[in-house]
Amino acid sequence: MAMSIASTFSVATGLAKRRFAPLLGILASYFLIQIALMGGFFIAMGSSLLPVLAGISPGVQAEAGPGAGFFVGLFVFYLLLILLSAARAGSMCAMATPLRDPGFGDAVATGVRRAPTLLGVFVLLLLGYVIAALLFAILAGVLSLLGAVGAVISVVATVGALFYVVGRLAVVIPVVAVEDIGNPISAIKRSLALTRGYVLKIIGVFVLFGLAAGVLLAIVLVPLVRTVTSAQALGEMPDLGTMGGSIAGFMIIGVILSIAGAAIQSALHAELSGSAGGV
């Protein structure tokens, strides 16, 4: 069966409905872990900065600036945040996939186990981005000799290349989490193999998803903008009820989009796994 935009959304919608509760539980679990990690970091870093800050007070001898330990801790903190995000993405796809029926603990364990692999994928893609950016900078410099036409060609080429890469790597997370591939290079190759010939359809799925996300965000954002603008014009404080409702709305939409995004990636992966050989 060939992959289609309609079937992808149909499968994704069914997955999101059936597994909404465990997917929500995964999001909540990782959110609490992130809060605990950030709290521990700020407590640890704050205690290390106290001697430095004490030097600001009159009559107190200033201490030296933050030592190497501070910057090592900062690096480790951000590395853990990235790994946590990778684990969450892997766990969400492991839970959302229609190819398996995992338990909550199995999905979380899969995400945690494959977080280093996803980090490796991110690093490889970052290196590729740097190299591509340099090449496009050179290309843009050459095309600038053509004036406005060259600028248009440069923008179109850049946007086209970006969409192409997104389309080809659309299923790399479920490839790692569902197919249990531990080598970042193998995961990227597998995603490239699955998406060959389907880039336009995959881009269509993401464009429609982005439009739907934009509409949801606009529903919450428009009342907030009106409230703030009206309050500024009258010299008053914005309505706290509207602002609080908007914040709650953004949080709810964020949860919905996270679950829908994982379901769409998993649906794409499932469809392409069964139809990639046909192209």
What's the rounded Cα separation, in Å, for the pair 180 and 269? 13
pLDDT band at residue 167 using 50, 70 and 90 as cut-offs: very high
Q: Provide the token pair at 199.
A: 């880039």
The answer to whether 70 and 53 have CB atoms below 8 angstroms apart is no
Q: Provide the token pair at 10.
A: 């149909």
Q: Is residue 61 over pLDDT 60?
A: no
Condensed to tens digits (0 to 9), the pLDDT of residues 2-20 reads: 788 999 999 999 999 999 9
Write down the mean pLDDT value for the chain.
85
Residue showing tokens 């997917």: 23
Percent of the chain clearing pLDDT 70 (strictly above)? 89
Q: Is residue 44 over pLDDT 80?
A: no
Compute the average pLDDT of residues 162-191. 94
- Residue 231 CA, chain-centre distance (Å), reads 34
Q: What is the DSSP letter of 237?
A: P
Condensed to tens digits (0 to 9), the pLDDT of residues 246-278 reads: 888 899 999 999 999 999 999 999 999 874 333
pLDDT of the residue at 67: 61
Q: Which helix (H) or strand (E) covers residue 164, if one does?
A: helix 148-168
Condensed to tens digits (0 to 9), the pLDDT of residues 235-244 reads: 777 777 777 8
* Long-range pairs, 7-14, Cβ under 8 A, ≥24: 7/271, 8/201, 8/205, 8/264, 8/267, 8/268, 8/271, 9/205, 9/208, 9/264, 9/267, 11/98, 11/267, 11/270, 11/271, 12/260, 12/263, 12/264, 12/266, 12/267, 13/263, 14/98
Report which of 191, 250, 263 is spatially closest to residue 221, judged by C-alpha positions: 250
**Higher pLDDT among residues 75 and 203, named by residue:** 203
What's the rounded Cα separation, in Å, for the pair 197 and 275? 11
**Higher pLDDT among residues 76 and 94, named by residue:** 94
The answer to whether 270 and 98 have CB atoms below 8 angstroms apart is yes
Residue showing tokens 């480790």: 76
